[in-house]
């Protein structure tokens, strides 16, 4: 099993550009999450999903949108990137019967 995978691994954007980060999990997990990690600030939850077709806002949702059209995929979109969105983005998933989260390897995004 691949676990949780993220695409792409690295990306550089100019201010105002848009992009979509893809997260895929092959563990049949119900819950999926998007976090951003910034130096000295731990992980902050952007959006999450408790099942296919559902999404909810986390701690820092502004400037991001998400979609969960298929159970195994969770997409994070930036419609108009800003330098403040320079960060490392992690996707994670967890199952109904486990509260352990499984993380992807991360996407390092730089917005110039």
Single out the residue of 26, 25, 97 nearest to residue 34, CA to CA: 25
Rounded distance between C-alpha atoms, residue 76 and residue 64, angstroms: 7
By rule CB under 8 A, what string of x and - marks binding of each residue 69-108 to other proteins? ---------------------x-x-x----xxxxxxxx--
Write down the least CB distance from residue 106 to other proteins, Å.
5
Site for other proteins in 18-37 (CB under 8 A): 31, 33
Write down the least CB distance from residue 19 to other proteins, Å.
20
* 2, 53, 36, 44: CA torsion to nearest 10: -120
Rounded distance between C-alpha atoms, residue 92 and residue 50, angstroms: 12
Residues in contact with other proteins by the rule CB under 8 A: 4, 31, 33, 40-43, 45, 48, 50, 58, 90, 92, 94, 99-106
């Amino acid at each position: 099993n691949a676990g949780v995978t993220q695409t792409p691994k690295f990306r550089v954007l100019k201010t105002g550009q848009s992009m979509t980060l893809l997260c895929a999990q092959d563990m049949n997990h119900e819950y999926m999450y998007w976090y951003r990690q910034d130096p000295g600030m731990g992980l902050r939850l952007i959006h999450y999903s408790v099942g296919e077709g559902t999404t909810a806002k986390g701690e820092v949702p502004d400037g991001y949108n998400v979609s969960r059209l298929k159970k195994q995929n969770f997409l994070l979109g930036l419609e108009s990137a800003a330098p403040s969105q320079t960060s490392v983005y992690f996707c994670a998933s967890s199952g109904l019967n486990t509260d352990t989260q499984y993380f992807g390897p991360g996407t390092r995004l730089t917005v110039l």
